């Protein structure tokens, strides 16, 4: 399957997950957006040598994946495929920072390795938070929440249109690429010249389509706003969701829970 089609399937997959009905999916989109932001800020605010402090935060993705009935393997697969930029940059840390910070018996761990693992953990936490947000909320609902949170209207309307037309245009693109590959039997990759005119052609079709869409929208009374039938209601459960998670994040940030737990356990066994 071509990359275009698999990417489309991928996006569709997240939307299908978002169409479920679970306690997490029922929360108001605003609650989920705010909680996800609080989570990410908490994660990145940890010191770069702090590993154990980050661990309790795994509670958030784990609980949401479990209660939201999301397939963990599918999400993990997406995580692994995600942009490797953080890893490429992070892998320099062990080379550059060789101060020994921790000794476990004879083995000395350098600060670089610790901060590298910390980058990995941060990556897992933050990226899974974004994926979970979409797969428990759905893209349009996120846009709606953003509108209510005072993000400029032009941007959110445009986000929804963009999202809608990705599927249409990407299918068009994939048809064009297929047509090219059927005719260009010997060349396996497109030359820049062919690519430019193919993309230019796609662009012209896109512009024509935009004009037709605009006329169709005008004739149906479009005035620059998109109205959604689904009402948003921020109830007690939503407030509780935000407050409870935020309280947990603050707690996990303020005191090193694993450390306390370890001390308690060792105190008992001693």
Partner 1 sequence: MHMADALISPAVGGAMWAATGALTAYSAKKLKAELDERKVPLMGVLGAFIFSAQMINFSIPGTGSSGHIGGGMILAILLGPYAAFLTIASVVAVQALFFADGGLLALGCNIFNMGFFPCFIAYPLIYKKIVGDRPTQGRILLGSTLSAVLGLQMGAFSVVLETVFSRVSELPFATFVLLMQPIHLAIGFVEGLITSAVVGFVWKARPEILELAADAKPIGNLSVKKVLVGLGMATALTAGLLSWFASTHPDGLEWSMFKTSGKEELKAPERGVHAAAESLQQTTAILPDYDFKKPAKPSEPETPAEPENKTDGAAPVVSAGASVAGLVGAAITLVLVGLLGVALRMRRASN
> Whose Cβ is closer to partner 1: residue 223's or residue 230's?
223
When binding is defined by CB under 8 A, the residue of 17, 18, 28, 123 that contacts partner 1 is: 123
CA dist 163 → 15, 76, 143 (Å): 11, 24, 10
154 is a site residue for partner 1 (CB under 8 A) = yes
When binding is defined by CB under 8 A, the residue of 73, 183, 192, 230 that contacts partner 1 is: 192
59 is a site residue for partner 1 (CB under 8 A) = yes
196 is a site residue for partner 1 (CB under 8 A) = yes
139 is a site residue for partner 1 (CB under 8 A) = yes
142 is a site residue for partner 1 (CB under 8 A) = yes
- CB distance 60 to 245 below 8 Å: yes
Residue ranges in 138-152 assigned as alpha helix (H):
139-148
Alpha carbons 233 and 217: distance in angstroms, whole number: 28
> Whose Cβ is closer to partner 1: residue 21's or residue 231's?
21
Alpha carbons 40 and 59: distance in angstroms, whole number: 13
Using CB under 8 A, which of the segments 153-161, 229-237, 238-246 binds partner 1?
153-161
List, in order, residues 6 or more apart from 75 with CB less than 8 Å away. Answer: 65, 128, 131, 132, 135
86 is a site residue for partner 1 (CB under 8 A) = yes
82 is a site residue for partner 1 (CB under 8 A) = yes
């Amino acid at each position: 399957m071509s990359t275009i089609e698999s990417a489309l399937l991928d996006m569709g997959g997240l939307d299908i997950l978002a169409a479920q009905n679970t306690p997490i999916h029922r929360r108001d989109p605003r609650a989920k957006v705010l909680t996800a932001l609080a989570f990410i800020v908490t994660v990145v605010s940890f010191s770069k040598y702090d590993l154990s402090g980050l661990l309790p935060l795994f509670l958030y993705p784990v609980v949401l994946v479990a209660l939201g009935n999301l397939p963990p393997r599918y999400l993990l697969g997406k995580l692994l495929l995600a942009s490797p930029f953080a890893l490429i940059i992070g892998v320099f840390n062990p080379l550059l920072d060789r101060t020994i910070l921790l000794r476990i018996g004879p083995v000395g761990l350098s600060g670089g390795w610790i901060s590298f693992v910390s980058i990995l953990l941060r990556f897992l936490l933050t990226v899974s938070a974004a994926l979970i947000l979409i797969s428990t909320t759905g893209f349009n609902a996120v846009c709606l929440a953003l509108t209510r949170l005072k993000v400029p209207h032009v941007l959110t309307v445009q986000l929804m249109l963009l999202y809608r037309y990705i599927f249409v245009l990407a299918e068009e693109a994939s048809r064009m690429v297929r047509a090219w590959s059927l005719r260009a039997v010997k060349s396996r990759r497109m030359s820049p010249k062919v690519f430019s005119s193919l993309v230019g052609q796609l662009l012209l079709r896109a512009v024509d389509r935009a004009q037709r869409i605009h006329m169709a929208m005008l004739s149906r009374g479009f005035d620059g706003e998109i109205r959604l039938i689904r009402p948003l209601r921020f109830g007690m459960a939503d407030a509780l969701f935000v407050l409870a998670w935020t309280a947990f994040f603050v707690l996990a940030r303020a005191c090193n829970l694993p450390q306390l737990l370890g001390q308690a356990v060792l105190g008992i066994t001693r």
